[in-house]
Amino acid sequence: MANLGIPQNTIAVLQKYNFNFQKRFGQNFLIDTSVLDRIISAAEITKDDCVLEIGPGIGTMTQYLAESAREVVAVEIDKNLIPILEDTLSEYDNVTVINEDILKVDIAKIVEERNGGKPIKVVANLPYYITTPIIMGLFESHVPLKSITIMVQKEVADRMQVGPGTKDYGALSLAVQYYAKPEIVANVPPNCFIPRPSVGSAVIRLTRFENPPVEVNDEKFMFALIRASFNQRRKTLVNGLTGAGDLHLTKEQVIAALERMKLSPQVRGEALTLEQFALLSRELD
């Protein structure tokens, strides 16, 4: 089968199947062999690996994964791509394509059946609108994962790895850094895709921690605190937390907890580190 990382081969497949891009699925297909090589090497795919690919598109990266991994399970939401994938992946007997929404797939079951319950690696070229729910879904469900190597909008990749006090720092930064070590491995300009997106992209690898870097009694409670702290960025932490209906916290409780942490009642959420949010959740729990 022709290498789909080469633009004319991708165009030929799209024409052969008269394929129309679906805006609602945020489809942008990668057409750059060097970027594909970077993703495979960043994900450190070996013949021992079972890889979950989210959104294979026409199978461009899937071909590369199939060459390097023991097994690939590719989950594609767009049913119009299924016959194309059957064609472009026909030479690979180590690929299974599932026509499903990744947010509804039982990933733990896939890991159990395909990899004997051992951690898998996730690789994806993710549409912008669904990046956060997918990543959070993977982490929060605690499926056995070694790493997630994904192509995302550059700004989202930046957000995942920044620290307190920057404008990009927020709930996503904290959540990612609680579960994994983030590292941007490549910046990818718009001309590496068909159709060209309007913004730059980046490949980021999230290496899953064996144990989170901070101690919390109740993960869900800490993340509820974090979300409330960033819901209205201009508010002080005290107002953000007491205004969140689901937390049921009083001003006195929050101010007292901040005082014990030697923090001002005027502090904003964006000034707190992950360690401080963990401590705050223990103080308020």
Same structural domain, 267 and 162: no
DSSP 8-state class, residue 272 = -
Domain of 57, CATH number, reads 3.40.50.150
The model carries a pTM of: 0.92
From the DSSP assignment, how many helices (H) and strands (E) are in the chain?
A: 12, 9
Q: What angle separates helix 171-179 from helix 154-161, to the nearest 10 degrees?
A: 60
> 264 lies in a domain?
yes
> 128 lies in a domain?
yes
Domain limit, last residue, from 188, 208, 228:
208
Number of domains the chain is built from: 2
Same structural domain, 271 and 188: no
Contact in structure between 206 and 176 (CB atoms under 8 Å) = yes
For residue 127, the model assigns a pLDDT of: 79
At residue 132's C-alpha, the angle toward residues 50 and 223, to 5°, is: 105
Domain limit, last residue, from 208, 242, 264:
208
| Angstrom distance (rounded) from CA 91 to CA 130 | 31
Domain of 265, CATH number, reads 1.10.8.100
| Angstrom distance (rounded) from CA 204 to CA 202 | 6
DSSP 121-156: EEEEE--GGGHHHHHHHHHHTT--EEEEEEEEEHHH
Same structural domain, 178 and 229: no
Same structural domain, 180 and 262: no
> 2 lies in a domain?
no
Same structural domain, 189 and 225: no
For residue 219, the model assigns a pLDDT of: 93
Same structural domain, 277 and 182: no
Same structural domain, 67 and 177: yes
AA letter at 221: F
Same structural domain, 147 and 227: no
For residue 275, the model assigns a pLDDT of: 97
> 241 lies in a domain?
yes
Contact in structure between 277 and 225 (CB atoms under 8 Å) = yes
For residue 210, the model assigns a pLDDT of: 92
Same structural domain, 46 and 120: yes
Residues, the chain, total? 285
DSSP 8-state class, residue 101 = -
| Angstrom distance (rounded) from CA 105 to CA 103 | 6
Q: Which residues contact 120 (CB under 8 A, 6 or more apart)?
A: 49, 50, 51, 52, 110, 111, 114, 143, 144, 145, 146
Same structural domain, 86 and 200: yes
> 214 lies in a domain?
no
pLDDT, tens only, 60-81: 999 999 999 999 999 999 999 9
| Angstrom distance (rounded) from CA 19 to CA 78 | 11
Chunked mean pLDDT (size 10), the chain, 285 residues: 90 91 80 95 97 96 97 95 96 97 95 97 88 91 95 94 93 96 96 92 96 94 94 89 90 96 96 97 93
Domain limit, last residue, from 181, 208, 235:
208
For residue 27, the model assigns a pLDDT of: 84
Same structural domain, 50 and 102: yes
For residue 245, the model assigns a pLDDT of: 81
Same structural domain, 231 and 261: yes
> 1 lies in a domain?
no
| Angstrom distance (rounded) from CA 187 to CA 151 | 9
For residue 79, the model assigns a pLDDT of: 93
3-state SS class at 242: helix
Contact in structure between 39 and 204 (CB atoms under 8 Å) = no
| Angstrom distance (rounded) from CA 56 to CA 26 | 13
> 81 lies in a domain?
yes
> 234 lies in a domain?
yes
As given in the structure block, the two tokens for residue 270 are 């964006």
pLDDT, tens only, 169-202: 999 999 999 999 999 999 999 999 999 999 999 9
Q: Determine the structural domain holding residue 169 and report its residue range.
A: 7-208
